[in-house]
Amino acid sequence: MSTTTEQATTSRVNSAMKEILASGASRAVLSVFLGFVVGALFMVFSNDAFLQSIQYFAAKPGDALGSAWTAIADGYAALFRGSIYNYQAANPVAAFRPITETLRFAGPLIAAALGVALAFRVGLFNIGASGQILFGALWATWISTRVTLPWGIHLIVALLVAILGAAAYGAIVGFLKARTGAHEVIVTIMMNYIAAGILTFFFRTPELLREADGGGTPKSDAPAVTAQLPVLLGPEYTLHWGFVLAIVGVVTYWWIMERSTMGYRFRMVGHNPDAARTAGINVERTFVLAMAVSGAFVGLAAANQALGARAGMTPDIDGTIGFDAITVALLGSSTAPGVLLAGLLFGAFKAGAPAMQAIGLSPEITGVVQGFIVLFIAAPPLVRAIFRLPAPQKTTVVADWWRGIFSRGGAK
Amino acid sequence: MKLELRGITKRFGSLVANDHIDLVVNSGEIHSLLGENGAGKSTLMNVLYGLYQADEGEILLDGTVQHFKGPGDAMAAGIGMVHQHFMLIPVFTVAENVVLGNEPTGPLGTLNLDEARKRVREISDRFGFDIDPDALVEDLPVGAQQRVEIIKALARDAKVLVLDEPTAVLTPQETDELMSIMRGLAKSGTSIVFITHKLREVQAVADRITVIRLGAVVGEAKPSESAETLASMMVGRAVDLAVTKHKPKKGNIGLSVTNLTVVGDRHNKVVDDVSFEVHAGEVLAIAGVQGNGQTELAEALVGLRIPSSGTIHLGELDITHSSVREVIDAGVGYIPEDRSKDGLVGDFTIAENVMINRSYGPPFANGLQVDFASRDRITDQLIKDYDVRTPSRETLAKKLSGGNQQKVVVARELSRDLNLLIASQPTRGVDVGSIEFIHERIVATRDAGKPVVIISTELDEVTALADRIAVMFRGRIVGIVDATASRETLGRMMAGATA
């Protein structure tokens, strides 16, 4: 008798464990882990010592295994030194520089990912973060290089213009979808090209935004000092207030999605547009509003890029942020804390890549790791198969406990 | 071909979907399989079609035992199936669809479309289907698409044709056409299994009827049997959902609809010049066979569809062109017929669902923020008052049973300060206990002096709740009669006869 009870208890605990394991957060963590494993394989197989010792693997397997271990350890140690803390640095200021770099890179990623995440929650796929950054940055650059305003006001105006520009650019997409039924994926991709073209045109034309004494290449002036985002930790570090903006964005995003009635309606439309319409919600108007708010978050990234710069800007001011933001939003499962953590991770990859290159590793390995993380996130059954995780919602032990407490056997 | 099912049993876990079912369909016979939703009709047919393997029992064709491992085997043996949801590729032509999976090929494997066209034309001419083999399927009306499905089955020499709820998607006219096609096919020797839960159609076309309830055969009946007898066989008890209610205390006119016309998705008049009035403290039921414009009428009343002409007045207020939100704010409660699609957000908790149509102000919103404390307090009260069986208010709506889901919808709508209640199929797919509860609440709403409109295809529900009954047929109101009207009268009206 006691053994069966014991078994029952263990199996219930196991089921509870499985339920926790089947959750989205643990899948994200495991996907990151798997991504690092794949990255390790790349390091091993691009390591000369390993490739040589593998030829006499049968005779001395220790050499191959040893060099494989060294390759992985060296690689990830370099990534750590490049993105968190450089224990080989000559002075403390330099030792802490990597973590500030990680935060600097993470800022725009987090901000843009919040925009993409918001659209996800409304059931929209905003591929247009790239175009929205460019469009917001265009007008922010106009303010920061062509307008003279007093200190303080200049920065605030430039910030607002970046946010409003990106929001307007997003709203156009929502409007086209609501009015014509055009699919937002197609529209945002095309809008990316349009924004890139417009920005290049502005940066190339002297009467518009081209730098004062520039040549033929499209480039703008550096933002006026009064419009620059100030550095955050003193002149020793390049980290600027853009990261604080991103954190403000995270809190705002959380408030909108979890506390506000607007976010509640966003989620309603995302889950079930038919029921939302029946409940009196104007679904089309919600699409426009959601794309505008999504664009506004992306605008924070635009401000980060345009006003965080200290030198003249080129038309690739968005870098790969627009597309990395999609992966950050996915990895963070479109929640505020998730996006924050995922953005920090991807910021660390960006900051750490040069350090890996310094020890002879290809910096593209971090790109491969990122790609695989998203691949694993996008294919939950793959991760479940690898870790033998339970399929979601097969067991309901946790839910049953609730039921036992609340319904006293009356539930149906 | 004679089809025989002997002792077919199919279990899903502890649920017995089919319990020793015997069925004989003679050659050239239209055999109707009658039963409520969830009685096990579709499971049985999926066993026949090889989609499921029976746990017990055997299938015989002309006396020979068959073993179907999949639909391919069943098709090869001469069984054809027309599913409720068509399995057609919209951008292909009729001929391409018909030969798909069984294409006539020339040398080098090229598709012989002439041969395909010939096959379609042959069958179409033989049974008077009037189908152009080169028409794109997406351009065809639903009734014609269904005929393409039938051609598809016949092109593979189906001797036994299974039609699964074929009239659910058809207009009444198309239904009549389908019935004459069925008779023609039967005359030429095809055996037809006609799955339905609609009594009128069974009586019109079937040669014999087998009634299924809770997975088992209840008995056989003749189409000459009365609708009541068939209904009580189907439901399993003398159908008596009588609700105790007093005489209505009629007040002023709460809702008046005048010459309302609504043009539907297919550009036809789905609601055609409809006029009626509902007094405060009165239940008007709108009866009729599914698909005669009741859904569209309800949607027009709540602002989901824009009427092309006519007016809707809520008391003195003109709401003809009001938005859904304005209609809701004017105090119109609406229980939509498809709760999982239109009535609830499955991935929202009960608490979140309680506020879906009132997120703009108190008591659920406090400025720009959701008022969580107030929301939770109201939700807990509603769960208690409406006897929603749930672990907690944080349970996702999709995890609740159908009856409890419907109670959440009813609770949400009735707990507001209403000037009108519109309930469309309020008890569809709901267990008996919940049906009684929901009916009591609707009557209580009436007795509180509100005008109530019930839209239901279930005659029992209509007669149990209504004070007056309006019958819709092909978008028009055929007549409005007192609730004491006999079932025969109502039945005739539902078929289009004026009162």
Write down the domain spans for chain B. Answer: 3-235, 253-494
Provide, as residue numbers in chain A, all residues whose Cβ is less than 8 Å from the Cβ of B13: none
Contact call for B404 and A412, based on CB within 8 A: yes
Tell me the percentage of chain B whose pLDDT exceeds 70: 95
- Whole-angstrom distance, CA of residue A102 vs CA of residue B459: 69
- Whole-angstrom distance, CA of residue A355 vs CA of residue A101: 12
Residue of A nearest to B391 (CA): A403
Q: What is the pLDDT of residue A412?
A: 29
Domain-embedded: residue A50: no
**What is the torsional sign of CA B225, B227, B230, B233?**
negative
Contact call for A271 and B348, based on CB within 8 A: yes
- Whole-angstrom distance, CA of residue B236 vs CA of residue B214: 9
The pLDDT mean for chain B works out to: 88
Q: How many angstroms separate the Cα of B112 from the Cα of each of A30, B95, B118, B119?
A: 53, 10, 10, 11
Domain-embedded: residue A280: yes
Chain A residues at the B interface, defined by Cβ less than 8 Å, are: 259-262, 264-265, 267-268, 271-272, 274-282, 399, 402-403, 405-407, 410-412
A343 closest CA partner among A151, A119, A103: A103
Phi, psi of B472, rounded to the nearest 5 degrees: -100, 140
Question: What dotted CATH number matches B253-494?
Answer: 3.40.50.300
Tokens of A286: 């919600």
- Whole-angstrom distance, CA of residue B298 vs CA of residue B343: 14
Q: Residue A149: give its domain's CATH number.
A: 1.10.3470
Contact call for B345 and A272, based on CB within 8 A: yes
Provide, as residue numbers in chain B, all residues whose Cβ is less than 8 Å from the Cβ of A411: 389-391
Q: What is the pLDDT of residue A11?
A: 59
Q: What is the pLDDT of residue B202?
A: 87
Residue of A nearest to B343 (CA): A275
- Whole-angstrom distance, CA of residue A206 vs CA of residue A214: 9
Contact call for A407 and B391, based on CB within 8 A: yes
Domain-embedded: residue A58: no
Of B68-82, B228-242, B265-279, B350-364, the range with the lowest mean pLDDT is B228-242
CB B379 within 8 A of CB B371: no
- Whole-angstrom distance, CA of residue A53 vs CA of residue A39: 20
Q: Is the predicted pLDDT of residue B278 greater than 60, yes or no?
A: yes
The alpha carbon of residue B350 is apart from the nearest alpha carbon of chain A, in Å, by 13
User: If DSSP codes are grouped into helix, strand and coil, which group holds residue A262?
Assistant: helix
Tokens of A141: 């650059």
Domain-embedded: residue A76: no
pLDDT beneath 50, residues of chain A: 1-4, 393-396, 399, 402-412
Cβ contacts of residue A207 below 8 Å, gap of 6+?
none
- Whole-angstrom distance, CA of residue B436 vs CA of residue B244: 10
Kindly give the pairing relationship between strand B56-61 and strand B216-221. Answer: unpaired
Q: What is the pLDDT of residue A23?
A: 63
Contact call for A275 and B352, based on CB within 8 A: no
Element (H, E) at B25: strand B15-25
Q: What is the pLDDT of residue B113?
A: 87
Average pLDDT over residues B352-361: 95
- Whole-angstrom distance, CA of residue B187 vs CA of residue A25: 63
Dihedral angle of Cα A64, A67, A71, A77, to the nearest 10 degrees: 140
- Whole-angstrom distance, CA of residue A71 vs CA of residue B2: 74
Q: What is the pLDDT of residue B364?
A: 96
Provide, as residue numbers in chain A, all residues whose Cβ is less than 8 Å from the Cβ of B368: 260-262
Is B187 exposed, middle or buried (CB count within 10 Å of its CB: 0-12, 13-18, 19+)?
exposed
- Whole-angstrom distance, CA of residue B213 vs CA of residue B61: 25
Q: What is the pLDDT of residue A408?
A: 38
HSE-CB of B320 using CA atoms within 13 angstroms: 16
**Tokens 């408030």 label which residue?**
A255
Domain-embedded: residue A53: no
Provide, as residue numbers in chain A, all residues whose Cβ is less than 8 Å from the Cβ of B392: 402, 406
- Whole-angstrom distance, CA of residue B164 vs CA of residue B168: 9
Average pLDDT over residues B86-95: 90
Chain B residues at the A interface, defined by Cβ less than 8 Å, are: 302, 304, 323-329, 334, 336, 341-348, 352, 355-357, 359-360, 364-365, 368-370, 389-392, 395, 399, 401, 403-404, 431
Q: What is the pLDDT of residue B174?
A: 74
- pLDDT-derived band at B423 (thresholds 50, 70, 90) equals very high
Query: Which of A259, A271, A410 is closest, CB to CB, to B347?
Result: A271
**What is the torsional sign of CA A83, A87, A90, A96?**
positive
Contact call for B343 and A278, based on CB within 8 A: yes
**Tokens 């016949």 label which residue?**
B154
Please count the structural domains in chain A. Answer: 1
Q: How many angstroms separate the Cα of B281 from the Cα of each of B67, B244, B452?
A: 60, 15, 7
CATH superfamily label, B3-235: P-loop containing nucleotide triphosphate hydrolases (3.40.50.300)
- Whole-angstrom distance, CA of residue B457 vs CA of residue B294: 9
The alpha carbon of residue B394 is apart from the nearest alpha carbon of chain A, in Å, by 10
A330 closest CA partner among A317, A341, A315: A341
**Tokens 């709901």 label which residue?**
B430
Query: Which of A262, A276, A407 is closest, CB to CB, to B368?
Result: A262
* pLDDT tens-digit readout, B112-139: 888 889 989 988 888 888 889 999 998 8
Q: What is the pLDDT of residue A394?
A: 42
Domain of residue A224, residue span: 92-361
Centroid of chain to Cα B461: 15
Give the sheet arrangement for strand B191-196, strand by strand.
Answer: B79-82, B160-164, B191-196, B30-34, B208-213, B216-221
Q: What is the pLDDT of residue A390?
A: 63
Is the complex ipTM more than 0.90?
Answer: no
HSE-CB of A101 using CA atoms within 13 angstroms: 22
Provide Rg for chain B, Cα atoms: 25
Contact call for A412 and B345, based on CB within 8 A: no
Higher-pLDDT residue of B384 and B434 is B384
A133 closest CA partner among A296, A269, A275, A267: A296
Q: What is the pLDDT of residue A345?
A: 95
HSE-CB of A145 using CA atoms within 13 angstroms: 27
Higher-pLDDT residue of B301 and B139 is B301
- The yes-or-no answer to whether B3-235 and B253-494 have a common fold is yes
CB B233 within 8 A of CB B227: no
CB A332 within 8 A of CB A340: yes
Contact call for A267 and B324, based on CB within 8 A: no
Q: What is the pLDDT of residue A243?
A: 97
**Tokens 């200049």 label which residue?**
A154
Residue B34 forms beta bridges with which residues? B196, B211
End-to-end distance of chain B based on CA atoms, in angstroms? Answer: 44
**Tokens 């499905």 label which residue?**
B149
Average pLDDT over residues B419-445: 85
Contact call for A275 and B389, based on CB within 8 A: no
Domain-embedded: residue A32: no
HSE-CB of A265 using CA atoms within 13 angstroms: 26
Whole-model pTM over 0.80: no
- pLDDT-derived band at B166 (thresholds 50, 70, 90) equals confident
Contact call for B392 and A406, based on CB within 8 A: yes
Provide, as residue numbers in chain B, all residues whose Cβ is less than 8 Å from the Cβ of A403: 391
CB A102 within 8 A of CB A351: yes
**Tokens 């196991």 label which residue?**
A14
Q: What is the pLDDT of residue B464?
A: 87
> DSSP code of A224?
P
Higher-pLDDT residue of B135 and B494 is B135
The angle formed by the CA atoms of residues B376, B378 and B381, to the nearest 5 degrees, is 110
Element (H, E) at B5: strand B3-12
